[in-house]
Structures are given as structure tokens and as C-alpha cells.
Amino acid sequence: MAGDHYFLELDPPEERLRHAPHVVVVGGGFAGVHVCKALKNADVRITMIDKRNFNLFQPLLYQVSTGLVSRGDVALPLRELVGAQSNTQVLLGEVTQVNPEGKQIVFNGKAYSYDYLVLATGSGSTFFGHEDWRTFAPPMKILEHAEEIRRRLLMAMEQAEQTPDPEARQFLQTVVIVGAGPSGCEMAGAVSELMRWAMENAFKQLDPEKTRIVMVDPGDRVLRAMPEGLSEAAMQSLQKDGVEFLGKGRVQTMRPGEVTVGTPDGDVRIQAATVIWTAGVRASSLGKKLADVTDCEVDRGGRVIVEPDFSIPGHPEIRVAGDLSSYSHTTNGKPLPGMAAPAKQAGSFIGKDIAAIVADRPRPNFSYFDFGSMAVLDRSNAVTDLRGLKFSGGIGWILWAFVHLVLIPGWENRISLSVKWVFALLTQQRASMLLTGMPSQHLALDAADAHFPMQAGEGPSIAAPDAALKAAMDYYSHHVIGHPQTQELMDTSEGSATDSAAAIK
């Protein structure tokens, strides 16, 4: 049994736990939280470690990006979610190493011992070897990404409102979304609603009809993982909202203000002030680190290939769950999808299994219950495939809303989301349209003296919030229309195109 570092040397909360096994859970997402919950009444001491102090409900990030709900509606502090359990301590930190021989993990520069280790650090985005595109096209994985996307969309509309040239306005009203899976489609529908609503109601100079949203995907249809009928219904709904689909297309190059897409009919260049990336997912790097120090294998996406009980070969005390794992012990032999329900079910199973081992009870078997899949297309329209029962339109949306309210943790979030959705349904208004993130206006300088837009490099080390748009406008001015007319509009600072491109890095 592990030695001296339980709970950072604190006394156990209950005497019976003094010699209880120590379960370290790394990652407080769907999987990690459900491991802790399933171990609530077990005689174990749990340390939950996450590099964020909150659990994030990623399926609703697109609603944060488009101002429908705010950050607090989709996140819940881990101390509230699992920290209240008497046998659980929550620690903030990034686990950087695993030492399976010594049964230790390293985080915040120190080594801590475990008896059971659950790795559930999820996945991040990948740009398929083009990391330099990351700053031009934010992905959507964490809260900061969602807020950066919202900032770029709102900044572009604010700029368009002040732009006399109709072509430059068209550029500012154009959005490219890379990826036409559930995240891409949800994003496209929500961006269309946001821009049309904002332009019809809140901006005086902008023509909603000039909004252009292009979804790019290598496939020949949207939502390829869904049955064709639902994919067709989704496409029709998105087209009604003015979304264009550029199928069989792969992004070849990207720079501020322009995306070049290779298609069977040749390259297509799209000038757009805002580009959003929903295309690639890659498992957290902890999987690879684990593989380097054990005999376990990782698949092409960096997921750890696990045994039927989510352990790795030769290490029954190490379990890997959620997006970080590749679990193929299913009836059809296909790996579980990287989705919330498999992560949640795996987490619950692992917790129950460890509880059974510790209590010397018969161990459970894991079997995955597939509820189906769904994607929402606007604030009253979704497609759902629930174990063969297919719905689209309003009924699809009601089912989608119900499932998401059940899945999201915390009653406060459920109530807040329900109110905001009903409000949006009735009034079409959006609750969270604030353009925030101006560090110069609240950190380094006195608010009264702060510049707008902030100058590149001004203030603390985070990038100027308007830098991405400025770089796109620089490109448009110099390369598309060939003169710096629109540049002048943005150029209240002395930064050049190079400065602003550098600032968004």
C-alpha cells in the first residue's frame, strides 16, 4: 500500500479511512467525476486532480461562443461537484508524469503515491500537423476557446457596422467553419442565428442577407456518423439558415483572412474575417507518456488501448477512461465513441469495480448502453437518433434539451440553461453578448486611459483581443482589394500586419 502522501499528509477525514487505499483520479471531466461519485461510499481515500478547478460541459461550448449562455452556465467547480464527498480531496495541478513501478504520479513538481490510478484527461484539438493555423482558427475545446470565438464574431460585426465599403462588410460578415460533424453543424446553426438576430435587431448598417457561413469538410455530407436521412434533414435546416456546405474539401492553407480549400474541382479560396476549427481531436498527451513507461499501446489518435476493465496490460491498478481510452471490448468490436455517455459510463464502472475489489465483493462487468446520437441545429431544431428512433425539428430539439439537462451537473446550471433557452425561444434574444477580455481595461492600466482597440503588445502577455481581426483586415486590405482603405479603419495603433499576426500567436 502506498506510504506517506495521502491527502498531502492530512489526517484522514474518518478513522476507518486511516489505512484505506488511495485512489488518485486525474481529470475532472465526465469520466473522472463519475469515478469519484461511484466511490462515494467506498472505504477509499480519493484525490481528484485537475488543471482546472471546474468541470466543463463541452457539448454546450458552442452556445457560449455564440452568446446564448454564459461561461458559468456550462461549468461547475469540482469542489462543489465532488469535493463535498467526505472521502475526496480536490487538488489543482497538472499531472506531468506517471511512475508505474513506484506507483507514483508527479504533479506541481512533486511525486505522490497511489494504490489505484485513474487517468481521465480527455482530449484536445489537432490541426493535423499545421499548428500554425491554431491562432487563425480557434478550436473549441475549452472555455477560453469559446470566448475567443465569441469575441472574434462580435468584433467582426462591430467593425462591419463602422465600415462604409460594402465588400469589406461582406468580408467581415463571412465565417468559415472547418468540420461538419456535430460540433461544426451546431456551431454553423448558432453562428447563423447570432449574426442574423444581431443584424436584424441591434446593428443598423448590416444586412443579414450578406452574412456568409461556409462549412468545409472532407466528406460528401454533414454529420457523416449519423444515418443519411438525418444528415439530409440537418443539411436542409442549415441551408435554410443560409449555411453553405463545401463538401469533399480539405483545408490546404490558412492565413489571417483567407482559407484555401482543395476540392476535386480545384482549389477554392474563401476570404473570411472569422475562421473556426472543429475538425480534429487528439487524446491528451498523458496517454503517450503512460505508454512510454508501460507496455500499453496507443492508437493513431493517441488513445490508450485498454483491457475489458479499462486497465492496461500488466497494471490492473491503472485504469484509463473517457476520451483518453480506446475500448473495443464491445459487442460489435468497434471502439466506444469519444462522447459524454461512454465517458460517464466508463467512469461509473471503474468506480464500482474498485469499490468491489476493495470490499472483496464480486466484480461487475462493463457493458455499454448506447443511447444514440444527436445534434442541435438552431434554438428550436435538432436531429436525434435514439437507438433507431429518428426525430428532427421541434421534437428532436425537445429530446436534445432533455438529454442535455439530465447530463449537465448542477441544478443551478439546469435552471439557468432552461430559463435562457426558453427566453431565446420566445424573444430570439441572447443573454451573453458582452465583448470582454480587454486586459488593458482592467489589469495593467487605469480604465479611463485604456486604448481601444488595444495596441498589440500592450498590457499583460495575453494577446490583444482585436489582434486576430486586425490581422485578417490587414490581409484583406493589402491582398484582396490591394490598397489599405479598410486598414485605416482598424489602425488606431501603430502596429503593422506583421505585428498583429504576431500578436495573435
Report d(CA 56, CA 68) in Å as an integer. Answer: 16
**For residue 43, which phi and psi values (nearest 5 degrees)?**
-80, 70
Q: How far is CA 339 from CA 60, 127, 287, 469, in A?
A: 13, 20, 17, 33
User: Can you state the angle between helices 228-240 and 182-201, rounded to 10 degrees?
Assistant: 20
CB of 247 to ligand FAD, least distance (A): 21
Candidate list 9, 80, 144, 186, residue with the active-site label: 186
Nearer to ligand FAD, 23 or 286 (CB): 286
**For residue 361, which phi and psi values (nearest 5 degrees)?**
-105, 165
| Alpha helix stretches (DSSP H) within 206-254 | 228-240
Cell of 39: 466511490
Active site residue 186: yes
CB of 138 to ligand FAD, least distance (A): 12
Nearer to ligand FAD, 118 or 172 (CB): 118
Nearer to ligand FAD, 75 or 156 (CB): 75
Nearer to ligand FAD, 338 or 439 (CB): 338
Query: What residues line the site for ligand FAD (CB under 6 A)?
Result: 26-32, 49-52, 58-59, 61, 94-95, 120-122, 140-141, 182-183, 284, 286, 322-324, 338-341, 343
What are the DSSP E strand ranges found in 321-368?
325-326
Q: How far is CA 267 from CA 201, 248, 487, in A?
A: 37, 11, 27
CB of 116 to ligand FAD, least distance (A): 17
Inter-residue contact 52 to 19 (CB < 8 Å)? no
Report d(CA 166, CA 155) in Å as an integer. Answer: 17
Nearer to ligand FAD, 47 or 174 (CB): 47
| 3-state DSSP of 32-73 | HHHHHHHCCCCCCEEEEEECCCEEECHHHHHHHHCCCCCHHH
Q: Which residues are catalytic?
A: 186
